[in-house]
Amino acid sequence: MSELDHPAFPVALLTATADERIAYFADVWIVHPAFKDALTRIRRLLRLKQPGYLVVLNGPTGAGKTRLCRMLLAERIAAARERMATETDYVPAFMVELAAERDGRFDWRDHFSRSLRQLQEPLLDRKVLRDEATGELEWGTERVLRFAYESCLKHRKVELAIWDEAHHLRKLAGSRAFVEQMDTVKSIVNLTGTLHLLAGTYEILDLCDLSAELARRTYDVHLPRYGESAHEQRIFLNVIRSLQIHLPLRSQTNLSALADYLYERSLGCVGILKDWLMEALVLAMEENAGVSESVLQRTGYSPGKLQAIRREIELGECRRREMDGIPSIAREKGAPPRPQATSFGHRPGQRRAIRDPVPAAPFPA
């Protein structure tokens, strides 16, 4: 008797509507080892309660970062319900998604406004500050909304602010702009004492080591995809099985036999796998069938999109290896180390930094 004979979903779902079955599977999440490791470390960091520090959760797209953030948010709110009942202005935690504007740039004013709305701050359109130089009143500017955001965090005693899609902070031109972005974040954290959790793809790593002070005050938490080692492949196979027994369908095809195919087209990312099975579930219900290889082949991301995602993930993983001090793949395979330039070395064809002789110009007659 296989595990498919003992489904994990309520049997009543087999007679439920398609929308109800889809909603059930959408809420299913498997706390697999990589997810659990990242969650456990963030919980530990939250217990430290260190003011002025950042937690940066990074990993490939589709690894489960947003799901982890939502789980943390639910935990913080559930643990504070009694205090929230007596202190009506107390907000233990909140979560907001950082948005990129239509021109691809990040807008602090929009972010502060979204955050204040998430915190249900009243009279948002009436926030005002006086310009110290001119004495005139400012309405709705970035400075006004930042002051309102910082005041709200302090007065509401917010302990955790979660910024999802935080890699959008990179949407500015120039390395100096990167430094200014993270200086702004660090300043907000210092002034409010609220721990900020920034979740994003590997792109956010470019913002985390721009200065020694920022690196010292940043905790780096990695949520990786599953690789091709035998150990990680076994874990991924268990994830497939755990997801399949939650598929609310009468007939089931054993997806363990398709593990290699599922890994290849999900790139080892549990979130991508879950989204793929969600679409496959919808198609299977339309055809009154199970999630078979035929259904899987007609759903999921296209090869072109997967190739683009793969390139981005591999670049990010290379960046992570550099941060972690892990040798490159070429070095791991026994390639000779790259020669190190001496302190006076020059690239071929590069001129030395010397002054060229300038011929004296004759004085005008």
The larger pLDDT score, comparing residue 294 to residue 251, is at 294
Helix (H) / strand (E) containing 111: helix 108-118
- 271 contacts 292 by C-beta, under 8 angstroms: no
Q: CATH 3.40.50.300: which residues of the chain?
A: 33-222
* Number of CB atoms found within 10 A of residue 193's CB: 15
**pLDDT tops 50 at residue 157:** yes
**pLDDT tops 90 at residue 234:** yes
Residues 323-360 have pLDDT tens digits of 877 765 544 444 444 334 333 344 445 555 555 555 55
Say what percent of the chain tops pLDDT 70.
85
- 196 contacts 54 by C-beta, under 8 angstroms: yes
What per-residue confidence (pLDDT) applies to 343? 39
What per-residue confidence (pLDDT) applies to 216? 82
What per-residue confidence (pLDDT) applies to 141? 87
Contacts of 90 (CB under 8 A, 6+ apart): 80, 83, 84, 156, 157
Alpha carbon distances (Å) from 48 to 54, 88, 187, 205, 306: 12, 25, 20, 23, 39
Q: According to CATH, what is the number of the domain 33-222? A: 3.40.50.300
What per-residue confidence (pLDDT) applies to 353? 53
